[in-house]
Amino acid sequence: MASRKKDIGLGDYFLEYRRKKSTFLDEINELIDWQPINPFLCKKIRRKANAVGNPAHPPLAMFKILLLQRWYNLSDPGVEQALLDRLSFIRFMDFSIEDDVPDETTICRFRNGLIRLNVLDKLLDMINSQLEVKGLLVREGAVVDASVVESQRRPRKVVDVMPEDRDEDADWQETPVECRISYSDDTEAAWLRKRNRVFYGYKLHAATDSRDGFLLCGHVTPANRSDTGEFEKLVDDVGLERGAWVYADKEYCIGKNRDILWERDLEDGTMDKTPRGGRLTEFEKARNRTISSVRQIVERAFGTLKRGYDFFRSRYVGQAKVEGEFHILAMAFKLKKAIRLART
């Protein structure tokens, strides 16, 4: 654990003596070895002083603040206020009670810096590695899927024409749909019609492990991007050993995606799609039921992100920031799940 910026004071001594029971945050500090993460952050975040010349806050403590925000659903002003009077937060960050806490502007600037440096996915991998070493995360297989995340901004008009979700016969990159719309300032978002509902925002493409549902990797695209076109990137990012199973629903059932799995020596767990004018065999129906029982684990993960972490709608504007938000959420989600598993 990183050392504090200042020596422990008398107030810290009495607070430590007063504490009788470990909290969830204490369990996180016991579970994760922050030592490998601290030098990585210090190397990437080279800023030594803040805007007024005072020593900058330790990058590891700032990173922990981003996790606190997601666990407790706090805004930048909200977490700044909480850091002033919540002793468990101060202890989690390994601060002294006498230390100054970062203000909301500093927190926002730090988060944007991590997104700009494109290091959040690496931090996710580092946490994955630690959980694998402890035996809490086992990559015996992966489940891939996609979910819509609405934009933080509301557009001013509704489009006249919009693509259907997962229309495999259309290439939206080469044949853009003509839409008359006056956009808000979130111009990187896109329209999508899904099950008679209209969405303006992004699509999260993610993979979980097939045993416990830990989020392994993911990325964000405009909402009108086809799921099938993102399959290869997910398979490559998930980092499975040869012979592992990859599960996906029938919308991923195209020859190209099956070839991707074959080329990487991965087992094909993609559900079979009913052919046009035909029907599935009894074997294919039974196979689909078996795969569906595994696939529901990624849907539960998406449900937790949306209901438990309010990720049905993005907090920030722009594709890069929404993807950064997902990576922070994935780490918070993963650590909380790991604590529950460790308790059992």
CB 223 within 8 A of CB 189: yes
224 with 264, same domain: the answer is yes
pLDDT confidence band for 4 (50 / 70 / 90)? very low
Average pLDDT, the chain: 86
Tens of pLDDT, residue by residue over 119-177, are 999 999 999 999 999 999 999 999 999 999 999 987 765 555 555 565 554 444 444 44
**Does residue 337 belong to any structural domain of this protein?**
yes
**Does residue 324 belong to any structural domain of this protein?**
no
- Predicted confidence at residue 2, as pLDDT, reads 42
Question: What value does the mean pLDDT take over residues 301-308?
Answer: 95
Residues of the domain holding 205: 139-317+332-343
207 with 170, same domain: the answer is yes
**Does residue 123 belong to any structural domain of this protein?**
no
CB 64 within 8 A of CB 127: no
Tens of pLDDT, residue by residue over 61-82, are 999 999 999 999 999 999 999 9
95 with 146, same domain: the answer is no
154 with 105, same domain: the answer is no
- Predicted confidence at residue 197, as pLDDT, reads 86
**Does residue 283 belong to any structural domain of this protein?**
yes
Residue that is last in its domain, among 87, 117, 147 = 117
158 with 101, same domain: the answer is no
- Predicted confidence at residue 32, as pLDDT, reads 96
pLDDT confidence band for 87 (50 / 70 / 90)? confident
Q: Which of 5-9, 91-95, 118-122, 125-129 has the lowest mean pLDDT?
A: 5-9
- Predicted confidence at residue 10, as pLDDT, reads 55
- Burial of residue 305 (CB within 10 Å: 0-12, 13-18, 19+) is buried
- Predicted confidence at residue 235, as pLDDT, reads 96
**Does residue 132 belong to any structural domain of this protein?**
no
The pTM of this model reads: 0.86
The β-bridge partners of 222 are 202
237 with 160, same domain: the answer is yes
Tens of pLDDT, residue by residue over 228-244, are 999 999 999 999 999 99
176 with 77, same domain: the answer is no
195 with 296, same domain: the answer is yes
- Tell me the C-alpha distance between 73 and 229, whole Å: 33
162 with 106, same domain: the answer is no
- Predicted confidence at residue 146, as pLDDT, reads 96
- Predicted confidence at residue 91, as pLDDT, reads 87
Cα 215-302-316 angle, rounded to 5 deg: 90
The β-bridge partners of 329 are none
- Predicted confidence at residue 94, as pLDDT, reads 86
Question: What value does the mean pLDDT take over residues 268-297?
Answer: 93
pLDDT confidence band for 51 (50 / 70 / 90)? low
pLDDT confidence band for 179 (50 / 70 / 90)? low
Residue that is last in its domain, among 67, 87, 117 = 117
Q: How many domains does the chain have?
A: 2
- Predicted confidence at residue 17, as pLDDT, reads 61
Tokens of 258: 């099956």
